[in-house]
């Protein structure tokens, strides 16, 4: 376990029970998942039962208990994206990367997920890779987009 | 940025700031809003920077990457001041020409200006574009003027004037009276009168009190709050500080969904600036009032847009709602009185204080005052953010502002209110949009998403989409919502697969009655709206799926059949590469064949084909 890394995160907070979600968010951002050993330490420090931590970690969509890939692909399946073929874009991504939606490629390069709405509805269908947005994505644009990250 | 110790100091600073600014300063405003960012506005801004450098214009021209310009259909948009020339669909390659022709020679680049789809008339200036006529920007007013990272820009536009007035010239009661009188109602969906909510909280004796800004804009199809948080973050802060002073709160939180990383960065910067300037912290503007704001990031749960669920998640728990009363205004965060308002509601507050409650109450309809921002998206020609007075009709929004339906198709419905709203058919196009009228036709205002649908959308599929969304997002705490959604989804799947019965339609309506009556929170109670409204207005579409096993909009996969036309197929193999199940085969440059047994009807071949050789029946 990388204790100094975890200590840096914990030092930003006062150690109250309501710091749980921000602490987990920082761990998720830093480690790309919530490692078991780290959660044990968080439970002790914040005085929160480990069961509650797992309850929170499995309730919210941004948390993952297994490592995520280097790049996070979010295919928007909000209403407008759904109507304009966001689902097909997700399928095409899945097919080209050889990974199911919700999973990570074997080489740990890409995690593919669909999300509720990214808030760029005028450019539907929208894809977000890490912090970058791609608007009006169609199936034929998928290889070009993926190429930028390969 | 100085720390403002008094109102005179602030006034003097603002005076000097405005005096220093040349009204004829050339400004290039590149839209970096939710609609333009995905289309490459960062690249366009970088191209301008490079071109200014090359031409030695860096000192003469001001480049701003600003908030949403509104008309997202023309992304990337560029606005040039003081001439107010607007360009659309700008790419980095267009930038040298804009610099050369417009900035140096004062001419308009004709090919980049707005052109009406039907009349082919061109419009160079913002005010001439039909999309902007009939709009009344209050909340969106500053978005294409200010640099969201500059507090000076906000101050120069009269920012924090409302706060100054509230803090030094008004008593808390007077502020609440003004908000009450303005008729402002919650813009997040519920439409509860804001002034009344504040009063309930003010009347509570328990201390401390809290303020929360709900920026968990979860409704798919809505992005106005994102645009405001990213484009005018100080307006949200100013509204919150005024509200906190009115109810006597000492701490505020802005709850932003984690899908909006830029909004988080912009708000954090604005908070830091406001602290430095003394608008947040101890003894604000020497009024004796102490207040600070902190950002709380959402962790990805739609239900957290519901206020009690949001509070539970801020306390470190899962986002399960709890029955009301007590309302958060009585017992909210950590059991203390808490006012929760949505982003747009907060952004309205400074304007109400500035311009007066009567002015605000003079806009809108009897029971819905002021303006509302809508994200007009879907099958309209001109998509984007619009802000119109309450009472504007759907027809005006869809046809006058939105420029009608794409490819002159037929209007089918407009979906408002996100998953809690309904689908409004063509017969109600002349409905004046306000809280009550939308409710009367089985939908809700919601946060302001307005998704227009044409004949290519299947209403059964739309209902299934929302029920599936809610099924995945339901927290599972109460039985009517958890089990109701599961069963609705099951029935809808049966219908979509051509296995549905007419009895099931009645059963769905019965399930809806139970869910509406017995669910704990708004998610379950309003989840029935997509079902009820589509069954009521589009029953024949359900019946076509049930009786004829047909989806006329060609959406529901199990009822479709894909074929490849040997006459038009060129054998380019684009479809073969795309097909996930290997159902398409044939030699290169020869017509391909599609194996119906293997086909999963995903439609990837249809989309990949450049020659329209893939047909759907």
Q: What is the pLDDT of residue B134?
A: 87
Tokens for B424? 């409004």
What residues in B contact A115, CB-CB < 8 Å?
A: 259
Rg (CA), chain B: 26
Indicate whether B580 pLDDT > 90: no
Note whether B115 and B121 are within 8 A (CB).
Answer: yes
CATH of the domain at B592: 3.30.70.20
% of chain B beyond a pLDDT of 70: 100
Note whether B143 and B69 are within 8 A (CB).
Answer: yes
B145 located within any domain? no
**Is the omega angle on the peptide bond into residue A125 within 30 degrees of 0, that is, cis?**
yes
Do B214 and B348 have their domain in common?
Answer: yes
What residues in A contact B378, CB-CB < 8 Å?
A: 79-80, 83
Q: What is the pLDDT of residue B417?
A: 93
Closest by Cα among B359, B67, B74, B101 to B224: B67
Write phi, then psi, for B373 (nearest 5 degrees): -90, 130
Rounded Cα gap, residues B481 and B491, in angstroms:
15
Domain ranges (residues) in chain A? 3-59, 71-147
Query: Total structural domains in chain B?
Result: 5
Residue whose entry in the numeric block shows the structure tokens 């919502």: B481
Rounded Cα gap, residues B282 and A92, in angstroms:
54
For the ranges B479-488, B498-507, B585-594, the lowest mean pLDDT is seen at B585-594
Query: Residue A80: which of B317, B334, B377 has the nearest Cβ?
Result: B377
Query: Residue B317: which of A56, A79, A94 has the nearest Cβ?
Result: A56
Rounded Cα gap, residues A120 and A127, in angstroms:
9
B318 located within any domain? yes
Report the residue of chain B nearest A76, measured CA to CA: B220
CATH of the domain at B114: 3.40.30.10
Write phi, then psi, for B257 (nearest 5 degrees): -70, 150
Report the residue of chain B nearest A118, measured CA to CA: B259
Note whether B586 and B593 are within 8 A (CB).
Answer: yes
% of chain A beyond a pLDDT of 90: 95
How many distinct helices (H) and strands (E) make up chain A?
A: 7, 4
B20 located within any domain? no
Rounded Cα gap, residues B360 and A94, in angstroms:
50
Residue whose entry in the numeric block shows the structure tokens 């214009």: B57
pLDDT in tens, B387-446: 999 999 999 999 999 999 999 999 999 999 999 999 999 999 999 999 999 999 999 998
Do B219 and A117 count as a contact with CB atoms less than 8 A apart?
A: yes
Do B443 and B469 have their domain in common?
Answer: no
Q: What is the pLDDT of residue B450?
A: 95
- Please provide the DSSP assignment of B437-501 as one string: HHHHTT---TTSEEEEEETTS-HHHHHHHHHHHHHHH----SHHHHHHHHHHHHHHHHHHTT---
Report the residue of chain B nearest A94, measured CA to CA: B580
Q: Last residue of some domain: B343, B361, B379?
A: B361
* Burial of residue B588, with CB atoms counted within 10 A of its CB: 0-12 exposed, 13-18 middle, 19 or more buried: exposed
Do B71 and B106 have their domain in common?
Answer: yes
Do B394 and B466 have their domain in common?
Answer: no
* DSSP tag of B317: S
Indicate whether B607 pLDDT > 90: no
Strands B122-123, B210-215: pairing kind: unpaired
Tokens for B263? 């909004």
Indicate whether A2 pLDDT > 90: no
Note whether B276 and B1 are within 8 A (CB).
Answer: yes
B2 located within any domain? no
Tokens for B321? 């709602």
* Burial of residue B517, with CB atoms counted within 10 A of its CB: 0-12 exposed, 13-18 middle, 19 or more buried: exposed
Q: What is the pLDDT of chain B when averaged over all its residues?
A: 95
Closest by Cα among B252, B223, B444, B217 to B342: B217
- Where residue B150 falls (left for φ over 0; alpha for ψ -120 to 50; beta otherwise) is beta
Q: Which stretch of DSSP H or E encloses residue B81? A: strand B78-81
CATH of the domain at B239: 3.40.50.11540
The ipTM is 0.94
Rounded Cα gap, residues B546 and A11, in angstroms:
60
Do B578 and A95 count as a contact with CB atoms less than 8 A apart?
A: yes
Note whether B464 and B497 are within 8 A (CB).
Answer: no
B556 located within any domain? no
pLDDT in tens, B18-48: 999 999 999 999 999 999 999 999 999 999 9
Report the residue of chain A nearest B33, measured CA to CA: A120
Query: What is the Cα B594 distance to its own chain's centre?
Result: 41
Closest by Cα among A84, A141, A128 to B37: A128
Q: What is the mean pLDDT of residues B376-392?
A: 96
Strands B78-81, B338-342: pairing kind: unpaired
Do B585 and B605 have their domain in common?
Answer: yes
* DSSP tag of B434: S
Reported as half-sphere exposure (CB side, CA atoms, 13 A), residue B602 has a value of: 25
A105 to chain B, closest Cα gap in Å: 17
Do B170 and B201 have their domain in common?
Answer: yes
The SS3 assignment for B39 reads helix
Interface of B with A in 142-161 (CB under 8 A): none
pLDDT in tens, B332-358: 999 999 999 999 999 999 999 999 999
Note whether A126 and A137 are within 8 A (CB).
Answer: yes
Query: Residue A121: which of B221, B301, B602 has the nearest Cβ?
Result: B221
pLDDT in tens, B88-108: 999 999 999 999 999 999 999
Do B352 and B376 have their domain in common?
Answer: no
Count of C-beta atoms within a 10 Å radius of residue A25 = 21
Do B192 and B340 have their domain in common?
Answer: yes
Write phi, then psi, for B148 (nearest 5 degrees): -65, -15
Rounded Cα gap, residues B252 and B293, in angstroms:
4
In this structure, the dihedral spanned by the alpha carbons of residues A27, A31, A35 and A38, taken in order and rounded to 10 degrees, is -50
pLDDT in tens, B175-222: 999 999 999 999 998 899 999 999 999 999 999 999 999 999 989 999
Rounded Cα gap, residues A75 and A129, in angstroms:
9
B237 to chain A, closest Cα gap in Å: 21
What residues in B contact A78, CB-CB < 8 Å?
A: 220-221
What residues in A contact B314, CB-CB < 8 Å?
A: 18, 21
Give me the domain span that covers residue B508. Answer: 459-546
Rounded Cα gap, residues B69 and B2, in angstroms:
30
Tokens for B29? 């405003």
Q: What is the pLDDT of chain A when averaged over all its residues?
A: 95
B483 located within any domain? yes
Indicate whether B50 pLDDT > 90: yes
B137 located within any domain? no
Do B198 and B299 have their domain in common?
Answer: yes
Tokens for B401? 């502002």
Closest by Cα among B183, B166, B163 to B175: B166
Report the residue of chain A nearest B453, measured CA to CA: A83
Note whether B374 and B386 are within 8 A (CB).
Answer: yes
CB pairs A-B closer than 8 Å: 161
Do B339 and B404 have their domain in common?
Answer: no
Q: What is the pLDDT of residue A147?
A: 96
- Please provide the DSSP assignment of B350-403 as one string: HHHHHH-HHHHHTSB-SSSBSEEEEEEEESBSS-EEEEEETT-BHHIIIIIIT-
What residues in A contact B75, CB-CB < 8 Å?
A: 122-123, 135
A75 to chain B, closest Cα gap in Å: 12
Closest by Cα among B338, B364, B144, B148 to B235: B148
Do A22 and B297 count as a contact with CB atoms less than 8 A apart?
A: yes
Rounded Cα gap, residues B136 and B70, in angstroms:
12
CATH topology of domain A71-147: Glutaredoxin (3.40.30)
Rounded Cα gap, residues A91 and B600, in angstroms:
12
Rounded Cα gap, residues B307 and B286, in angstroms:
33
Rounded Cα gap, residues B1 and B276, in angstroms:
7
Do B383 and B473 have their domain in common?
Answer: no
Do B278 and B323 have their domain in common?
Answer: yes
B207 located within any domain? yes
Query: Residue B72: which of A118, A122, A134 has the nearest Cβ?
Result: A122
Rounded Cα gap, residues B36 and B144, in angstroms:
13
Do B318 and A20 count as a contact with CB atoms less than 8 A apart?
A: no
Note whether B372 and B445 are within 8 A (CB).
Answer: yes
pLDDT in tens, B240-254: 999 999 999 999 999
Instruction: Give how far Cα B200 sits from Cα of A76, B182, B187, B248, B344, Å.
Output: 39, 17, 18, 12, 21
Angle between helices A3-10 and A36-46 (to 10 degrees): 40
Note whether B580 and B600 are within 8 A (CB).
Answer: yes
What residues in A contact B602, CB-CB < 8 Å?
A: 88, 91
Query: Residue A85: which of B37, B383, B607 has the nearest Cβ?
Result: B607
Tokens for B125? 């200036």
| Interface with A, mutate which of B32, B34, B312 (most A CBs under 10 A) | B34
């Amino acid at each position: 376990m990388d204790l100094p890394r975890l200590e840096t995160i914990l030092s930003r907070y006062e150690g109250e029970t309501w710091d749980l979600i921000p602490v987990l968010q920082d761990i998720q951002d830093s480690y790309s998942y919530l490692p078991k050993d780290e959660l044990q330490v968080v439970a002790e420090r914040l005085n929160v039962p480990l069961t509650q931590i797992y309850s929170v970690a499995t309730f919210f969509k941004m948390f993952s208990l297994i490592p995520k890939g280097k790049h996070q692909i979010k295919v928007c399946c909000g209403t407008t994206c759904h109507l304009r073929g966001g689902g097909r874009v997700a399928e095409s991504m899945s097919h080209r990367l050889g990974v199911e939606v919700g999973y990570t490629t074997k080489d740990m390069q890409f995690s593919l997920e669909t999300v509720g709405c990214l808030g760029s509805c005028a450019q539907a269908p929208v894809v977000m890779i890490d912090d970058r947005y791609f608007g009006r994505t169609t199936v034929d644009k998928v290889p070009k987009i993926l190429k930028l990250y390969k | 940025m100085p720390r403002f110790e008094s109102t005179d100091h602030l006034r003097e600073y603002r005076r000097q700031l405005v005096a220093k600014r040349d009204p004829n300063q050339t400004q290039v405003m590149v839209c970096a809003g939710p609609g333009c960012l995905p289309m490459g506005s960062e690249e366009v801004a970088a191209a301008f920077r490079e071109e200014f450098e090359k031409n030695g214009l860096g000192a003469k021209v001001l480049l701003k990457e600003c908030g949403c310009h509104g008309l997202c259909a023309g992304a990337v948009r560029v606005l040039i001041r003081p001439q107010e020339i607007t360009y659309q669909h700008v790419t980095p390659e267009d930038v040298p020409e804009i610099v050369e022709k417009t900035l140096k020679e004062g001419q308009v680049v004709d090919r980049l200006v707005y052109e009406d789809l039907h009349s082919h008339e061109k419009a160079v200036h913002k005010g001439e574009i039909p999309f902007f006529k009939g709009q009344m920007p209050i909340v969106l007013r500053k978005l294409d003027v200010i640099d969201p990272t500059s507090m000076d820009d906000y101050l120069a536009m009269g920012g924090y004037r409302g706060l100054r007035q509230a803090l030094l010239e008004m008593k808390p009661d007077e502020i609440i009276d003004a908000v009450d009188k303005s008729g402002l109602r919650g813009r997040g969906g519920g439409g509860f009168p804001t002034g009344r909510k504040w009063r309930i909280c003010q009347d509570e004796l328990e201390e401390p009190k809290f303020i929360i800004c709900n920026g968990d804009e979860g409704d798919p199809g809505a992005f106005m709050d994102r645009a405001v948080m990213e484009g005018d973050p100080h307006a949200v802060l100013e509204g919150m500080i005024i509200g906190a002073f009115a109810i006597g709160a000492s701490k505020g939180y802005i709850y932003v969904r984690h899908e909006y990383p830029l909004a988080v960065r912009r708000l954090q910067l604005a908070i830091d600036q406001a602290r430095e300037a003394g608008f947040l912290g101890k003894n604000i503007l020497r009024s004796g009032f102490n207040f600070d704001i902190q950002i709380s990031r959402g962790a990805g749960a739609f239900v957290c847009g519901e206020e009690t669920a949001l509070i539970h998640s801020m306390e470190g728990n899962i986002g399960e709602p709890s029955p009301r009363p007590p309302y958060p205004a009585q017992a909210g965060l950590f059991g203390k009185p808490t006012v929760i308002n949505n982003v747009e509601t907060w952004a309205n507050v400074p304007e109400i204080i500035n311009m007066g409650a009567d002015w605000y109450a003079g806009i809108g309809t009897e029971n819905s005052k002021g303006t509302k921002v809508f994200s007009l998206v879907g099958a309209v020609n001109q998509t984007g953010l619009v802000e119109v007075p309450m009472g504007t009709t759907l027809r005006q929004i869809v046809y006058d502002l939105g420029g009608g339906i794409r490819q002159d198709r037929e209007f089918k419905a407009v979906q408002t209110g996100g998953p809690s709203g309904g689908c409004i058919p063509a017969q109600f196009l002349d409905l004046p949009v306000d809280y009550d009228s939308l409710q009367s036709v089985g939908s809700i205002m919601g946060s302001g998403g307005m998704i227009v649908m044409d004949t290519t959308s299947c209403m059964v599929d739309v209902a299934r989409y929302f029920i599936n969304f809610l099924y995945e997002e339901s927290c599972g705490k109460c039985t009517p919502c958890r089990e109701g959604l599961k069963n609705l989804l099951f029935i809808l799947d049966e219908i979509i697969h051509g296995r549905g019965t007419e009895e099931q339609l009645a059963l769905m309506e019965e399930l809806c009655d139970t869910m509406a009556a017995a669910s704990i929170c708004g998610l379950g109670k309003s989840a029935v709206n997509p079902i009820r409204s589509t069954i009521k207005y589009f029953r024949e579409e359900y019946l076509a799926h049930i009786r004829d096993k047909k989806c006329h909009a060609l959406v529901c996969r199990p009822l479709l059949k894909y074929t490849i036309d040997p006459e038009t197929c060129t054998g380019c193999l684009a479809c073969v590469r795309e097909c996930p199940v290997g159902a398409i085969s044939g030699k290169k440059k020869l017509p391909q064949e599609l194996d119906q047994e293997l086909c999963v009807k995903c439609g990837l071949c249809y989309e990949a084909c450049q020659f329209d050789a893939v047909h759907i029946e």
